[in-house]
Amino acid sequence: MPNIFILPSLPHIKMKKKLQILMLILIFTGCVNKERKIEGFVINEGRFEKCIEKMANPNFFYYQDTLEKFRIKLPRDWWLEKSESEEKYGITTVDSSLNQNETRLIAVTVIERIKTSLKEYVSSEIKSMNTDSTMFIQKIGKQQIDSLESFWVNYKTNDKLKTNGILNYLKDNKSDRIFIIHSIVFGDTEVDTRLCHLQNLVMTFRINKE
């Protein structure tokens, strides 16, 4: 019997193409969804709660760190402490006009010689947070700070202080430095509003170009 090549029917060809297209869509969607998540958390685009506030307050000043790696606008009357170790350094500044159960603070930490990508670093941080039984991640997001990609993690704790906070992460790829800006409010009143006030300060953060 001669070898005869039988052409598949037209409906069969159409169905095969549809299945191929569907598979490509599923693969693409899976890749996109993976890109939009970190450790199972959806990455929200933009700032936390769309915080908007004018900061024309004469009591603010630009703090310049002693190693001249960053600067950030801070209230003049907040208490400020510097810290430094072998691989990292930073500052903590606290609104000392309020009691411990109502106060708020910002801490900036600079970590040297980080070779991993920013997203990989944030992923490892979230893994660590998930092992802490007192910390509960609310949501995460991505925005721009000083024209650089930045991830933020909003969390709360169930300890006695009822802490709510946002961790902002950004990386200077030229120097392999990670900058972590930690905003914390204590107590459970007007949490989002008070976090917004701190996030407006965070948005003034600038990395000094070397």
* Least trusted range by pLDDT, from 11-25, 97-111, 193-207: 11-25
29, pLDDT greater than 50: no
pTM for the model: 0.81
Alpha-carbon span 125 to 197, nearest angstrom = 24
Judge whether 185 and 165 are in contact, CB under 8 Å.
Answer: yes
Residue 205 banded pLDDT, cuts 50, 70, 90: very high
pLDDT at 33 over 60: no
pLDDT at 193 over 60: yes
- Alpha-carbon 196 to chain mean position: 14
Beta-carbon contacts of 106 under 8 Å, excluding residues fewer than 6 positions away, are: 72, 74, 92, 93, 181, 182, 183, 184, 198, 201, 202
**What are the tens digits of pLDDT across the range 106-116?**
999 999 999 99
